[in-house]
Chain A
Amino acid sequence: MAIDNLLPFRRRGVDDFEQRVGPHVDGLYRLAHRLTGDRHDAEDLVQELLLRLFDRRRKLREIADLRPWLARSLYNLYIDTLRAHRRTPFANLDGEGETRLESLPDTDNAEYDDLDSSLQAALDRLNENHRSLILFHDVEGYTLPELSQILAQPIGTLKSRLHRARARLRELLREESVEPFSPDRRVNR
Chain B
Amino acid sequence: MHCTEAQNLLDDHLDGLLDQPRDDALAAHLENCTACRHELAARKALITRLRRLPLEAPTAGFAARALHQARQKHAQRIRGFVTGFGSAVAAGVVLWVAVGFWHPAAERSTPPVQAITLQVKQPSTVNLAFNVPGQDRYDRVRFRILLPPGVSLANHPGEREIAWEDRLEPGRNLLSLPLVAEQGTTGELVAQIEVQGVKKTFRIPVRAGAQGAWRGPVTPATPV
> Across the interface, do A3 and B45 meet the contact criterion of CB distance under 8 Å?
no
Interface of B is mostly: mixed
Question: CB-nearest residue of chain A relative to B7?
Answer: A167
Of the listed stretches B47-55, B101-109, B182-190, chain A binds B47-55
Size of interface on A: residues with Cβ below 8 Å to B: 59
> Across the interface, do B55 and A50 meet the contact criterion of CB distance under 8 Å?
no
Q: Is B28 in the interface zone, CB < 8 Å from A?
A: no
> Across the interface, do B46 and A12 meet the contact criterion of CB distance under 8 Å?
no
Q: Which of B57, B70, B143, B174 contacts A47 (CB 8 A)?
A: B70
Q: Is A2 in the interface zone, CB < 8 Å from B?
A: yes
Q: Tell me which residues across on chain B come within 8 A of A163, comparing CB atoms.
A: 11
Q: Which of A46, A109, A111, A183 has the most CB of B within 10 A?
A: A183
> Across the interface, do A33 and B55 meet the contact criterion of CB distance under 8 Å?
yes
In B63-107, the 8 Å CB interface with A consists of 63, 66-67, 69-71, 73-74
- Known contacts A12-B140, A43-B66; 13 additional CB pairs below 8 A are A1-B143, A7-B164, A26-B58, A30-B55, A33-B58, A54-B71, A58-B140, A116-B54, A139-B50, A141-B51, A163-B11, A181-B46, A182-B42
Contacts A/B (CB < 8 Å), 23 sampled: A1-B143, A1-B173, A2-B176, A3-B155, A6-B166, A9-B164, A26-B63, A39-B58, A43-B59, A47-B69, A50-B70, A51-B70, A51-B74, A105-B54, A105-B56, A116-B49, A119-B53, A138-B47, A162-B11, A166-B11, A166-B43, A182-B41, A183-B45
